[in-house]
Amino acid sequence: MMSGFMSYFGGRRDPKQSSRDAIVTLRQQLQMVEKKEEYLQKKIEEELKKARENAVSNKAAATAALKRKKVQEQELERLQGTRFQLEMQVNTLESASFNSETMAAMKKATTALKDIHGTLTIDKVDATMADIQEQTQLAQEVSEAISSTTYTGVDLDEDELKQELAELEQEELDTRLAGADHVPVHHPAGKVAAKPVQVAESDDEDAQLKELQAALAM
Cα of first residue to Cα of last residue in the chain, in angstroms, is: 108
For residues 153 and 174, give the distance between their C-alpha atoms in angstroms, rounded to a whole number: 35
pLDDT recorded at residue 158: 80
Residue 83's pLDDT is: 92
Residue 89 class from Cβ within 10 Å (0-12 exposed, 13-18 middle, 19+ buried)? middle
The confidence score (pLDDT) of residue 196 equals: 47
Calculate helix-pair angle for 15-54, 59-117, nearest 10 degrees.
Answer: 160
pLDDT truncated to tens, each residue of the chain (218 aa)? 445 444 444 556 677 788 888 889 999 999 999 999 999 999 999 999 999 999 888 989 999 999 999 999 999 999 999 999 999 999 999 898 889 889 989 999 988 888 888 888 888 889 889 999 999 999 988 888 877 655 555 566 788 878 888 888 888 888 888 876 665 555 555 444 444 445 455 567 777 777 776 766 65
3-state helix, strand, coil in the chain (%, to 5): 85, 0, 15
Q: What is the pLDDT of residue 215?
A: 67
pLDDT at position 182? 61
Domain ranges of the chain: 2-122, 166-182+193-218
pLDDT score recorded for residue 193: 45
Domain 2-122 architecture? Orthogonal Bundle (1.10)
What's the pLDDT score for residue 81? 93
Residue whose C-alpha is closest to residue 180's, from 204, 198, 197, 200:
204
CA of 35: how far to CAs of 28, 41, 42, 166, in Å? 11, 10, 11, 119
Check if the beta carbon of residue 201 is closer than 8 Å to that of residue 184.
no
